[in-house]
């Protein structure tokens, strides 16, 4: 993976501002520690940071290709998993290739098919192509939004980048935020509304969309979306098709010129991917698969089973490593480094995020990077197959809000009265919820319950899943680790989207159809293990550390956070036992300690980025 950035401006000669482009590019150093490149013409400036995965010697970017009188230049972040097939087709059409990297395949695909090339791509990507002849920039983001892409368009000037920090590095772009952006932070966050860049005048190119800019202005179009249609396969055919798609996807994503490993929790999703990967290595004489897991000091001592985390991972990891014959790496972290990582996670996201769930993933990826450059991870299976508890509980199915944010009222009750009057956070969340429901592609003939499960699937795929994909991208790329997510293959998502809920939950189990599809791939006890999410620390020292941090913030009259919170209520909570938030206020993992950590991250973000309020 890599980092990309750029600047299009019809009013200035950009060749006079090379240092600005260099600084925008430099901010993405961690995404691409192996090489850097810039390309400047009077009205287009492109920058790239490279993490070498395929053809390290010849894949430098920005990559330039001459075609007749025209010149095409690309910056690209991602991986094309069908590059070999595309390359063969393009060679039959007369194109000659000079590298073995997918960047050249992607660029030549655009030269050959123009904007419609996106319909042929299988992969995760964000890229931009500059066409010198018609002076236009074509920007694209992958269908599910695995790879990030932000932009700002003002008065004919376009800035874009893999992360907000590259746009913030431009001297004419101030770090400002409006009431709407603050509502995203304090009411919706750590999720984000699709397309919302949080900072004023910054947007996110939505998944499955392309953007084109020329002298006539800016146009944005979707090229992919979920489509609802009847599912005609029986349950056995459906399970077989899922098995085939997942196996093919993992095999495609095992392609790499550098070491590749898997993240293994002993749960259904990571175990399945690890099993397919281990089989691939065996069939291709690639040696023993390396697997990695995460835990925390004294977690076994303090762990308590609950509805969201029914059991610990350790015994199941041991079970799977013995089954796979993998070389396993147990990684464990303690409270001090976990607390310190909260700040690092803010700098990686350019926003407050999922607290220690972010920070621990950063630490995890940092250690993995010492042994591998590419990892495979199980994100998205729960959103696509309906694995979360909120898919299966009547109270969440009937809740008239996002099912992962049922405590919004309690949460916003901790904000200051003046701030509440200004941004009206509960109303804002309701508007965003109604907006999401209005987008759901309905299927004629479905009854109320079937329609509701389709809504739940859509909410999870388009609103909750992006939060986890953002987390995985930023925390992994902050240390130059590429993480691939096979469950986000668009062919699999398209197929599973239309499987009726009764079949998805076959056997009256969460992800029942996936379990059926994996028969013969995993041991029976792993196949039937009850879902347990990404592990978090249960050590009381973590609660004490973030509680103390928040009290220090409350005692600092210069804290920018104080404007937005009800200081007395937060103080009472911090000085109490935090029992008020024993149930998650976001997702499955963010309870009382994570609330304090999120507030600490918000304070860090406001201070470090010198955010001004519009």
The Cβ-side half-sphere exposure at 345, using a 13 Å CA radius, reads 29
When pLDDT is cut at 50, 70 and 90, the band that residue 74 belongs to is very high
545: exposed, middle or buried (C-beta count within 10 Å: 0-12, 13-18, 19+)?
Answer: buried
Q: Under a CB-based contact definition with an 8 Å cutoff, are residues 223 and 208 in contact?
A: yes
Establish whether the linkage from the previous residue to 122 is cis, with ω within 30° of 0. no
Q: Which residue has the tokens 């079937």?
A: 450
Neighbours of 224 (CB within 10 A): 17
Least confident of 225-234, 303-312, 474-483, 581-590: 303-312
Whole-number percent of the chain with pLDDT over 90: 89
What integer best gives the mean pLDDT of the chain? Answer: 94
pLDDT tens track for 281-329: 999 999 999 999 999 987 777 666 555 555 678 899 999 999 999 999 9
Average pLDDT over residues 162-176: 98
| 3 state DSSP class of 162 | coil
Average pLDDT over residues 580-588: 80
Structure-block tokens of residue 372: 């591998």
Say what the pLDDT of residue 394 is: 94
Say what the pLDDT of residue 287 is: 93
Please indicate, yes or no, whether the overall pTM of this predicted structure exceeds 0.85. yes
pLDDT at residue 47 above 80? yes
Q: How far is CA 264 from CA 201, 278, 320, in A?
A: 40, 12, 8
Q: In this structure, are strands 157-161 and 63-67 parallel, antiparallel, or unpaired? A: unpaired
Active site residues: 2
C-alpha to C-alpha distance for 486 and 477, rounded to whole angstroms: 17
Q: Under a CB-based contact definition with an 8 Å cutoff, are residues 273 and 488 in contact?
A: no
Say what the pLDDT of residue 532 is: 76
User: C-alpha 143: how far from its chain's center?
Assistant: 12
pLDDT tens track for 369-420: 999 999 999 999 999 999 999 999 999 999 999 999 999 999 999 999 999 9
Q: Under a CB-based contact definition with an 8 Å cutoff, are residues 62 and 7 in contact?
A: no
| 3 state DSSP class of 356 | helix
């Amino acid at each position: 993976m890599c980092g990309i950035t750029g600047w299009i401006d019809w009013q200035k000669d950009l060749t006079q501002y090379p240092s600005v482009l260099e600084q925008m590019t430099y901010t993405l150093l961690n995404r691409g520690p192996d090489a850097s490149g810039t390309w400047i013409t009077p009205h287009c400036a492109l920058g790239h940071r490279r993490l070498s995965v395929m053809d390290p010697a010849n894949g430098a970017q920005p990559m330039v290709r001459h075609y007749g009188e025209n010149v095409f230049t690309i910056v690209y972040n991602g991986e094309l998993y069908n590059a070999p097939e595309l390359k063969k087709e393009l060679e039959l059409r007369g194109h000659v290739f000079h590298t073995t990297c997918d960047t050249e395949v992607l660029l030549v695909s655009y030269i050959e098919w123009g904007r419609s090339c996106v319909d042929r791509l299988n992969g995760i990507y964000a890229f931009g192509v500059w066409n010198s002849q018609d002076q236009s920039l074509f920007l694209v983001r992958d269908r599910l939004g695995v790879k990030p892409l932000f932009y700002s368009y003002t008065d004919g000037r376009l800035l874009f980048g893999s992360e907000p920090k590259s746009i913030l590095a431009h001297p004419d772009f101030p770090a400002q935020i409006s009431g709407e952006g603050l509502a995203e932070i304090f009411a919706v966050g750590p999720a984000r509304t699709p397309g919302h860049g949080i900072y004023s005048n910054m947007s996110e190119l939505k998944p499955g969309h392309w953007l084109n800019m020329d002298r006539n202005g800016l146009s944005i179009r979707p090229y992919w979306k979920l489509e609802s249609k009847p599912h005609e396969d029986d349950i056995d055919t459906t399970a077989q098709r899922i098995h085939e798609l997942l196996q093919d996807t993992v095999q495609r994503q095992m392609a790499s010129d550098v070491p590749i490993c898997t993240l293994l929790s002993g749960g259904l999703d990571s175990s399945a991917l690890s099993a397919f990967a281990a089989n691939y290595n065996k069939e291709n004489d690639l040696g023993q698969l390396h697997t990695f897991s995460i835990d925390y000091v004294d977690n076994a001592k303090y762990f308590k089973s609950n509805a969201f985390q029914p059991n610990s991972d350790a015994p199941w990891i041991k079970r799977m490593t013995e089954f796979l014959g993998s070389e396993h790496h147990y990684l464990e972290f303690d409270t001090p480094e976990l607390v310190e990582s909260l700040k690092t996670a803010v700098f990686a996201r350019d926003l407050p995020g999922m607290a220690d769930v972010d920070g621990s993933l950063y630490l995890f990826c940092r250690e993995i990077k010492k042994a591998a450059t590419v990892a495979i991870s199980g994100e998205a299976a729960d959103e696509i197959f309906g694995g979360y508890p909120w898919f299966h509980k009547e109270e969440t199915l009937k809740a008239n809000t996002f099912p992962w944010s049922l405590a919004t009222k309690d949460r916003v009750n901790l904000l200051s009265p003046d701030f509440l009057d200004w941004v009206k956070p509960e109303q804002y969340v309701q508007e965003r919820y109604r907006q999401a429901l209005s987008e759901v592609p309905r299927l004629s003939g479905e009854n109320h319950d079937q329609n509701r499960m389709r809504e739940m699937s859509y909410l999870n795929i388009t609103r909750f899943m992006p939060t986890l994909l953002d987390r995985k991208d930023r925390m992994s790329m902050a240390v130059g680790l590429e993480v691939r997510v096979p469950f986000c293959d668009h062919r699999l998502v398209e197929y599973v989207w239309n499987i009726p809920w009764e079949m998805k939950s076959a056997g009256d189990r969460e992800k029942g159809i996936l379990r059926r599809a994996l028969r013969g791939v995993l041991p029976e006890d792993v196949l039937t293990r009850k879902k347990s999410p990404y592990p978090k620390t249960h050590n009381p020292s973590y609660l004490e550390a973030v509680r103390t941090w928040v009290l220090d913030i409350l005692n600092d009259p210069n804290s920018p956070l104080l404007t937005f919170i009800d200081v007395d209520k937060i103080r009472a909570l911090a000085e109490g036992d935090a029992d008020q938030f024993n149930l998650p206020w976001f997702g499955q993992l963010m309870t009382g300690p994570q609330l304090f950590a999120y507030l600490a991250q918000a304070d860090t973000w406001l201070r470090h980025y010198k955010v001004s309020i519009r």
